[in-house]
Amino acid sequence: MTTAAVIVAAGRGTRAGGPLPKQWQALGARPVVAHALGAFRALPDLAPLVLVLHPDDFARARALPEAAGARLVSGGATRADSVLAALEALAADPPAHVLIHDGARPLVSAELIGRVRAALAEGAEAAAPGLPVTDALWRVEGGRVAGIADRSGLVAAQTPQGFAFAPLLDAHRARSAAGQDAPDDVAVARAAGMQVTVVPGEARNLKITTAGDFLRAIRELEGGMEVRTGTGFDVHAFGPGDHVVLCGVAVPHERGLVGHSDADVGLHALADALYGALAEGDIGRHFPPSDPQWKGAASEIFLAHAAARVRARGFRIAGIDLTLVCERPKIAPHAPVMIARIGAILGLDRDRVSVKATTSERLGFTGREEGIAALATATLVAP
Ligand code: MG
């Protein structure tokens, strides 16, 4: 049984912004419609492939490698008329089935196309993907909620929509003869009495309408969000003094911490975690200890620099977790102000900043109160 595919790309929609209709705007290295065409071309037993275009777009389409071998058909005034033009182009040598797909849905998968075809092969006269509606649905009048729709049994319509060819052509001819329009081919088929089987749709199979949809599609194409994790570890020894600086907060103690800068072991571990997540070395690489200008420096400078590197590399900080290891001073009473200080330096809400402490049960150098150790983890995400 032959199955033809029709990609409908004749619309002039520019709601997504930009000078070109959305299906001709670039998504990655190729126009949106090239992604859709490529998905169908990759299935060699689907033929012929028909691309319905606005007359102005024929030259653009001929330049696409994905359109090689496709039949280019001039669309009509409405989407329904464009589909009818494609069906008429197939009518001389009719296929058994036809799949009709929106050119503005670039991320259609082979599995989804396969589900529609399988339903047709099992005898359905029409089959289309639907995605269950999960958000509540409101009817809004004058900016206010006027009613709440029952979403049970509701699905959002997707494409490709598949049909037995002959009855769909008849249905579209009847619609056109009656001077009627239709939002999609399922509506045309149902008006002619055809039964439409619903197969599971895919959230990824989004229809590009707005600029935000382009961002979503790019994220999907690139395999979703990139996540990086970095760790940092630091130690400073106790020496003479009457306070220690931890996480940018001066904490009274009978000794101080020894170091080239202010010896803020917490902020050093955190900065190293951020540099580590970026694979950009550690504090010493960015602020060499041999450079006298960092002597006695407030370590907030280092953390702020690491955070600026995170932003410059296109990441944001999803969260940080810091553990200070010491017997004394007690950290817990100071933790809230430490969290606020780190949050201010990094521009993070306090629910993304964790500062906690532990003793080492009097074991080792921290147990003997020779110094303080700190361990940090940072998680970065992009975009
Ligand atoms: Mg240090």
What is the mean pLDDT of the segment spanning 85-105? Answer: 97
Q: If you measure from the C-alpha of residue 265 to the centroid of ligand 1, how many angstroms do you get, rounded to a whole number?
A: 5
Q: If you measure from the C-alpha of residue 264 to the centroid of ligand 1, how many angstroms do you get, rounded to a whole number?
A: 7
What pLDDT is stored for residue 312 in this prediction?
86
Q: Are residues 195 and 139 in the same domain?
A: yes
Q: Are residues 51 and 98 in the same domain?
A: yes
| Collapsed DSSP state (helix, strand, coil) of residue 368 | coil
Q: If you measure from the C-alpha of residue 373 to the centroid of ligand 1, how many angstroms do you get, rounded to a whole number?
A: 9
Domains: count for the chain = 2
Q: Are residues 151 and 163 in the same domain?
A: yes
Which position has the token pair 């050119």? 103
Q: Are residues 187 and 260 in the same domain?
A: no
What is the value of pTM for the model shown? 0.61
Q: Are residues 26 and 108 in the same domain?
A: yes
- Rounded Cα–Cα distance for residues 76 and 87 (Å): 12
For 279-315, the pLDDT digits (tens) are 999 999 999 888 888 887 899 999 999 999 998 888 8
- Evaluate whether 82 touches 55 at the Cβ level (below 8 Å): no
Q: Domain containing 183: what range?
A: 3-224
Express the helix, strand and coil content of the chain in percent, nearest 5 each: 35, 30, 35
DSSP 231-282: EEEEEEEEES-SEEEETTEEEE-SSEE--SS---HHHHHHHHHHHHHTT---
Q: Are residues 74 and 178 in the same domain?
A: yes
Q: If you measure from the C-alpha of residue 263 to the centroid of ligand 1, how many angstroms do you get, rounded to a whole number?
A: 6
Q: Given 182, 200, 224, which residue is the final one in a domain?
A: 224
Q: If you measure from the C-alpha of residue 367 to the centroid of ligand 1, how many angstroms do you get, rounded to a whole number?
A: 19
What is the mean pLDDT of the segment spanning 146-171? Answer: 95
Q: If you measure from the C-alpha of residue 234 to the centroid of ligand 1, how many angstroms do you get, rounded to a whole number?
A: 5
Q: If you measure from the C-alpha of residue 322 to the centroid of ligand 1, how many angstroms do you get, rounded to a whole number?
A: 14
Give Cα separations from 107 to 46, 49, 162, 178 (angstroms).
Answer: 18, 17, 17, 35
What pLDDT is stored for residue 218 in this prediction?
81
CATH number, domain with residue 308: 3.30.1330.50
Q: Given 168, 193, 224, which residue is the final one in a domain?
A: 224
Q: Are residues 52 and 196 in the same domain?
A: yes
Q: Are residues 8 and 20 in the same domain?
A: yes
What pLDDT is stored for residue 187 in this prediction?
97
Q: Are residues 9 and 115 in the same domain?
A: yes
Q: Is 97 exposed, middle or buried (0-12, 13-18, 19+ CB in 10 A)?
A: buried
What is the mean pLDDT of the segment spanning 33-62? Answer: 94
Q: Are residues 206 and 241 in the same domain?
A: no
Q: If you measure from the C-alpha of residue 167 to the centroid of ligand 1, how many angstroms do you get, rounded to a whole number?
A: 76
Confidence of residue 1 (pLDDT cuts 50, 70, 90): confident
- Evaluate whether 241 touches 256 at the Cβ level (below 8 Å): yes
CATH number, domain with residue 85: 3.90.550.10
What is the mean pLDDT of the segment spanning 239-247? Answer: 97
Q: Given 191, 224, 257, which residue is the final one in a domain?
A: 224
Identity of the highest mean pLDDT range in 217-226, 265-274, 295-304: 265-274
Q: Are residues 204 and 234 in the same domain?
A: no
Which helix (H) or strand (E) segment holds residue 305: the answer is helix 300-312
Confidence of residue 174 (pLDDT cuts 50, 70, 90): very high
Name 107's Cβ contacts closer than 8 Å, sequence gap at least 6. Answer: 35, 204, 205, 206, 217, 220, 221
Q: If you measure from the C-alpha of residue 298 to the centroid of ligand 1, how many angstroms do you get, rounded to a whole number?
A: 12
Q: If you measure from the C-alpha of residue 239 to the centroid of ligand 1, how many angstroms do you get, rounded to a whole number?
A: 14
Q: Are residues 62 and 193 in the same domain?
A: yes
Give Cα separations from 15 to 21, 33, 65, 208 (angstroms).
Answer: 8, 16, 27, 10
What is the mean pLDDT of the segment spanning 99-119? Answer: 97
What pLDDT is stored for residue 11 in this prediction?
87
For 115-151, the pLDDT digits (tens) are 999 999 999 999 999 999 988 889 999 999 999 988 8
Name 82's Cβ contacts closer than 8 Å, sequence gap at least 6. Answer: 8, 10, 52, 75, 76
What pLDDT is stored for residue 14 in this prediction?
58
The alpha carbons of the chain give a radius of gyration, in whole angstroms, of 31
